[in-house]
Structure 1
Amino acid sequence: MPSTEQKLLAALSHGGVFLAAPILIPLVVMLISSDDYVRTQAKEALIFQLGLIVAGAISGILVIILVGFIGLIFVGIVAVIMPIIAIINVLDGKDYSYPITGRFARGL
């Protein structure tokens, strides 16, 4: 069971998107922490946020042919809901992994 400090650092990593630093906060937490649980959660959050940025950029380009609006709406909804789910899980002490980017993040 992770300690309170581990849970808070992991939640901070996932919640970086709400603090306007979705890449910076997980990266800093990953670099300064020596704990495996915190580093894994920070890596999960970082890869997920990078994936959202890529998906948002692709959807932004596809707005030209009007398909991108659906993608942007989807990315926006996922960018809000998934970090909240991750924060709730890590505060409960669970080892959370995002559905799509989780395998990739765990493989790094």
Structure 2
Amino acid sequence: MTAKRVISADEKMTILNEGMLPGANITEICRRHNIGTSTYHKWKRSAVQGMKEAVAGPSREVMALKQENARLKKLVAEEALVIDRLRELNETLAKGKNESWRRSGQ
């Protein structure tokens, strides 16, 4: 049994670029790089799909997630302000209790 060879993204792009040259023989290119033609075509489909997604811009799902993220960030910021205000109030009340306790104790 032969071990699978890991091919880097740069190597894949080099092979795909060879295949895009005018008059390129895909079968010969695949034979030379020791890959199957089905592998070459799978890489090509993936590359084309990636280019389509890059050109198309963010999808509706991505936009919805960005809006949700912004909403949640705003909510977290508001809650942090409430926590800070409550902490300040608690400190103020604690000081007042300590001072009134000292006065009554004297």
Say yes or no: TM over 0.5: no
Larger relative CO (CA 8 A, sep 6+): 1 or 2? 1
- Structure number with greater Rg is 2
Q: Normalized against structure 1, the TM-score is what?
A: 0.33
